Amino acid sequence: MARGDPVEAAKAYAMKLLAARGKSEAELRRRLEQKGFEAGVVDAAMVRLKELRFVDDEAFATARAESLSKRLAPAAVEKRLESQGVAEAVARRAASQAQGERSELGLARECLATRRPKVDRESLPADRARAARWLAGRGFSEEVVTELLGEEG
């Protein structure tokens, strides 16, 4: 390869980005274009990265969904993956796989268990309201939050 090969330069830059954190194909394309690489160069670099299995949206989505599902509802995981350029069907499948057999209520319970101070049905109404907002911000439905924390009295 010639020293000044733009495809190799794009591939090297993409590898540097991937070393920091996994990225979807769309994220990598966007970053390469922002760096000033031409569309044809980006396309060629992406083909090579896929051949080398450094870019795989299915694997990225699966790993990212597993990580996100520890603190977000399945719908929020799916939305986050889509915002990172993962196709809707791939994001849905990864979010569902990360959820596994656990119900949304179970996931909300696990998520809430990581929060300090601990909040449950016996907590003060203001603390339950704060926890409800916290769970809603992580994509859990109103029904799940109400079932988990009970009605505010």
The model's pLDDT over 16-29, given as tens digits with 9 standing for 90+, comes to: 999 999 999 999 99
Whether residue 11 sits in one domain with residue 45: yes
For tokens 């540097």, the residue is 16
Whether residue 31 sits in one domain with residue 42: yes
Whether residue 44 sits in one domain with residue 18: yes
Whether residue 68 sits in one domain with residue 27: no
pTM above 0.85, yes or no: no
pLDDT tens sequence across 58-79: 999 999 999 999 889 999 999 9
- Structural domain total, the chain: 3
Contact yes or no for 98/68 (Cβ under 8 A)? yes
Whether residue 87 sits in one domain with residue 109: no
Residue 1 lies in a domain: no
